[in-house]
């Protein structure tokens, strides 16, 4: 998680132009805890990551945490490239068409109970899911004022832990 000397948590905080001191106060954590997370000495709990994502106006931080720090996320969640909305829509449409090409084989395999033999279809579905996530996150760019966000991925404010 500390690739190129900076963790995903530090990169996100720095992009938001928030000091460790300010993050510490606003997240109700010690500066030492923030530093330990950023140095990769300890892993922040999911609730803290959600608070960071909110404070830093960076919903992708939560997803990156799941795919880089969580063994379940590493295994099951697809990686994807965050794109502009128009590009994300086009990529999603392309991936949907690719999956559609496998529809007949998928239906036949489901009827025969041989879904595990559909590696090409599985690959296309995984790519479609990644493209869908890219679309969902496409409108989640950082806003000019830190702390204000229009993210539809967060239904309600995150409480302090």
- pLDDT, one tens digit per residue, over 49-69 is 999 999 999 999 999 999 999
Token code pair at residue 72: 């379940």
Question: What is the per-residue pLDDT for 1?
Answer: 53
Confidence check: pLDDT of 129 > 60: yes
Q: What is the mean pLDDT of residues 15-44?
A: 96
| Of the listed ranges 19-23, 25-29, 146-150, the one predicted with least confidence | 146-150
156 in a structural domain: no
Question: What is the per-residue pLDDT for 145?
Answer: 30
Question: What is the per-residue pLDDT for 154?
Answer: 41
Are both 13 and 66 inside the same structural domain? yes
153 in a structural domain: no
Token code pair at residue 42: 């300890």
Question: What is the per-residue pLDDT for 114?
Answer: 87
133 in a structural domain: yes
Helix axes 59-68, 46-55, angle to 10 degrees: 150
Distance in angstroms between the alpha carbons of the first and the last residue of the chain: 23
The answer for 5, left when phi > 0, alpha when psi is -120 to 50, beta otherwise, is: left
Question: What is the per-residue pLDDT for 161?
Answer: 37
Domain span holding position 32: 8-76
Are both 94 and 113 inside the same structural domain? yes
Are both 62 and 27 inside the same structural domain? yes
Q: Where are the alpha helices (DSSP H) in 28-156?
A: 31-39, 46-55, 59-68, 71-76, 85-100, 103-112, 119-138
Give pLDDT tens digits for 97-124. 999 999 999 999 999 988 878 888 999 9
Question: What's the predicted TM-score (pTM) here?
Answer: 0.73
Are both 52 and 98 inside the same structural domain? no
């Amino acid at each position: 998680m500390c690739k190129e000397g900076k963790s995903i948590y530090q990169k996100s905080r720095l992009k938001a132009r928030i000091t460790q001191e300010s993050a510490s106060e606003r997240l109700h954590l010690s500066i030492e805890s923030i530093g330990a997370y950023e140095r990769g000495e300890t892993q922040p709990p999911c609730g803290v990551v959600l608070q960071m994502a909110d404070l830093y106006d960076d919903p992708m931080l939560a997803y990156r945490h799941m795919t880089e720090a969580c063994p379940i996320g590493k295994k099951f969640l697809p990686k994807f490239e965050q794109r502009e909305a128009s590009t994300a829509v086009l990529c999603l449409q392309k991936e949907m068409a690719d999956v559609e090409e496998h529809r007949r084989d998928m239906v036949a395999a489901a009827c025969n109970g041989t879904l595990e033999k559909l590696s090409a279809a599985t690959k296309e579905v995984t790519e479609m899911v990644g493209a869908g996530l890219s679309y969902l996150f496409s409108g989640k760019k950082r806003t000019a004022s830190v702390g204000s966000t229009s993210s539809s991925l967060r239904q309600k404010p995150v409480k302090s832990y």
